[in-house]
A and B are shown apart, each in its own frame.
Chain A
């Protein structure tokens, strides 16, 4: 039972992070390898908000997440916008550069020491015993519920809202989208904002649960294979990919070797890339576009 709980929590974490990769890729065909660093910035923003104001925890989290949305928009406006029309690879390498820059800046601004935003917010995290006998910390439960809400929200947004439909349109054919009056830069900025927002929510919840230092960016990188396994252009895929990777990881760590934790996502990724390179739910044409 506890194993199942662990799997669900890890899967929810991966899924919440992975949807950021999918959002940006689906809308602008850019692979954002700075996602882990951006989500870390979101978590550090909570540290600042918590220490600079006496807001109640929920408001502080909301404010930090809103700020991170702004960070995502700024990244597009000041950086990625300049790379439209260049080869996809240049954009990916630029996000790698951005990731390094952010890692450095985070240490310069917030120091490399471990931070505990939950303490400064006075947030308790008591474990809850579930009906089957498994235990889950309150914040982990919050994370699972948030992931559900975020995915529900994203599905509804992309399916029913006008902006969501435009985002899908821009992803399919940017030129035609522009010819139908859609401002591509606006759409991309929204995608970057949303992606950084969801990533930061994940980062914030992880930081509240288990503290925060610069290793958080690595968690973000581990979620990247999850997005690819599911198919980079499919939200449903990243949900499924998260479940597969989390199951494999938890089971292998439990029964085989804890050192495997860092490689499992990448081992699964290799297997998928060799057998079905476009991912479980992705569309096949994607392969030729990049």
Chain B
């Protein structure tokens, strides 16, 4: 018998406020240890996909309306967020990723490490401060006063404390200087191979994502428009042109390109 994949999404649909359909049936797979990227233009449904995996609370007025999300074969789409986190699927959100009125140390202290003992917890905290020495220096300042990059580090650090086997990262590069993005990316790769993590990465910056990832999905209007090994997608000129913005200028649908091949030639 083959072990089920780490994470699968089968025809997952999500609706906001009972009427706004954000996802129309997404299929996606992440294998253990893999880095998978989700690409797409603004509003394509990337954040919604990650939020569906990590769980909603009632406050969002968001609901998984169809399909199935499985972690190692177990359906998790109805679990509350804290139980999903405790299964080892941990999100680094796009916005509001730290508690602004808590200090850096308190942000880390708030994390629940259910399975880990005190010693293990301390070891992980040590690890976070080792990987992100900037955080150690700002240990007792409020998270709301950190710079964007430091905030991102704190968010990743807090997520690592949760003891993930799958890290969901929404827009690592958002608002960060390219040099910091590169640095964070390298850190992530090191951490990932140290801890044997799988990462599901949402990105605007296609070049960065395709260079990090093993496999990639392109979303358009809440549907998967293209998928494949990162290297293949990076080499596909249509994809490059329509989604990933290497060809500047007019925006058209990928489907348009496919259904009217004449237009491309």
- Interface pair B102/A175, CB less than 8 Å apart: no
- Interface pair B57/A168, CB less than 8 Å apart: no
- Tally of B interface residues using CB under 8 Å: 34
Contacts of B100-117 to chain A: CB distance below 8 A: 100-102, 106-107, 109-114
Take A165-B110, A172-B101, A183-B82 as given contacts and tell me if A178 and B57 are in contact as well, using a CB distance cutoff of 8 Å: yes
Whether a CB of chain B sits under 8 angstroms from the CB of A85 is yes
Rounded to whole Å, the gap between the CB of B47 and the closest CB of chain A is 13
- Interface pair B82/A184, CB less than 8 Å apart: yes
Q: List 15 A-B contacts (CB under 8 A).
A: A85-B57, A85-B58, A166-B110, A166-B112, A168-B101, A174-B57, A175-B96, A176-B99, A177-B110, A179-B54, A179-B82, A180-B111, A181-B113, A182-B110, A183-B112
- Interface pair A176/B58, CB less than 8 Å apart: no
Q: Which residues of B contact A86 (CB under 8 A)?
A: 58
Q: Which residues of A contact B55 (CB under 8 A)?
A: 178-179
Whether a CB of chain A sits under 8 angstroms from the CB of B216 is no
Q: Which residues of A contact B110 (CB under 8 A)?
A: 162, 165-166, 168-169, 177, 180, 182
Take A169-B110, A181-B113, A181-B114 as given contacts and tell me if A84 and B102 are in contact as well, using a CB distance cutoff of 8 Å: no
* Alpha-carbon separation in the docked complex, A177 to B80 (Å): 12
* Alpha-carbon separation in the docked complex, A179 to B91 (Å): 7
- Tally of A interface residues using CB under 8 Å: 21
Closest to A183 in B: B82
Contacts of A161-198 to chain B: CB distance below 8 A: 162, 165-166, 168-169, 172-184
Contact of B86 among A166, A174, A181 (CB under 8 A): A181
Take A162-B109, A168-B101, A180-B111 as given contacts and tell me if A175 and B85 are in contact as well, using a CB distance cutoff of 8 Å: no
* Alpha-carbon separation in the docked complex, A178 to B54 (Å): 10
Take A178-B82, A179-B91 as given contacts and tell me if A184 and B57 are in contact as well, using a CB distance cutoff of 8 Å: yes
Closest to A163 in B: B110
* Alpha-carbon separation in the docked complex, A175 to B47 (Å): 14
Residues of chain B having any CB pair with chain A under 8 Å = 54-61, 80-82, 85-86, 90-91, 93, 96-102, 106-107, 109-114, 158-159, 162
- Interface pair A165/B109, CB less than 8 Å apart: yes
The residue in A85, A173, A175, A183 that gathers the most chain B C-beta atoms within 10 A of its C-beta is: A175
* Alpha-carbon separation in the docked complex, A84 to B57 (Å): 9
- Interface pair A181/B101, CB less than 8 Å apart: no
Contact of A174 among B59, B98, B100, B112 (CB under 8 A): B59
Take A162-B109, A169-B99 as given contacts and tell me if A179 and B85 are in contact as well, using a CB distance cutoff of 8 Å: yes
Closest to A181 in B: B112
- Interface pair B106/A182, CB less than 8 Å apart: no
Rounded to whole Å, the gap between the CB of A279 and the closest CB of chain B is 16
Rounded to whole Å, the gap between the CB of B128 and the closest CB of chain A is 13
- Interface pair B102/A169, CB less than 8 Å apart: yes
The residue in A173, A177, A178, A181 that gathers the most chain B C-beta atoms within 10 A of its C-beta is: A181
Q: Which residues of A contact B59 (CB under 8 A)?
A: 84-85, 174-175
* Alpha-carbon separation in the docked complex, A280 to B200 (Å): 45
Closest to B58 in A: A85
Rounded to whole Å, the gap between the CB of A68 and the closest CB of chain B is 27
The residue in A162, A166, A173, A178 that gathers the most chain B C-beta atoms within 10 A of its C-beta is: A178
Known: A175-B57, A176-B99, A181-B86. 19 other contacts (CB 8 A): A84-B59, A162-B109, A169-B102, A172-B99, A173-B99, A174-B59, A175-B81, A175-B96, A176-B93, A178-B81, A179-B54, A179-B82, A179-B90, A179-B93, A180-B110, A180-B158, A181-B82, A181-B111, A181-B112
Closest to A186 in B: B82
- Interface pair A182/B112, CB less than 8 Å apart: yes
- Interface pair A180/B112, CB less than 8 Å apart: yes
* Alpha-carbon separation in the docked complex, A173 to B93 (Å): 12
- Interface pair B100/A179, CB less than 8 Å apart: no
Contacts of A39-87 to chain B: CB distance below 8 A: 84-86
* Alpha-carbon separation in the docked complex, A86 to B97 (Å): 24
* Alpha-carbon separation in the docked complex, A122 to B92 (Å): 59
* Alpha-carbon separation in the docked complex, A180 to B81 (Å): 8
- Interface pair A178/B80, CB less than 8 Å apart: yes
Contacts of A123-180 to chain B: CB distance below 8 A: 162, 165-166, 168-169, 172-180
